[in-house]
Amino acid sequence: MAIEGADLVKAAAFIGAGLSMGLGAIGPGVGEGMVAAKACEAIGKNPREAGLLTRTMLVGQAVSESTGIYSLVIALLLLFVV
């Protein structure tokens, strides 16, 4: 099979997109899990503040999510724009 320049670039973009989203999903997944674990611990210790703690958890997770969204954006750019 003959590999041409344009084909090679597209192949590299596809592999890059897969690796970007795949590896980029690891960090946010683990980080958000840690946040949720600590939020559960805090609610267990102080159940009256459950609402405040859940809100804080969600804000923290949203920030942690951002790198996952960067990966998604890069993957979509590699798939459709580059």
Q: List interacting residues with another protein (CB under 8 A).
A: 1-3, 7-8, 10-19, 21-41, 43-45, 47, 50, 53-54, 57-58, 61-62, 65, 68-69, 71-72, 75-76, 79-80
Least separation in angstroms between CB 80 and another protein: 8
Greatest Cα pair distance in the chain: 67
Least separation in angstroms between CB 59 and another protein: 11
Least separation in angstroms between CB 74 and another protein: 10
- Residues with Cβ < 8 Å from 39, sequence gap 6 or more? 53, 54, 56, 57
Q: Please name the amino acid found at residue 33.
A: G
Cβ-contact 64, 32 below 8 angstroms: yes
Calpha distance 12→18 (Å, rounded): 10
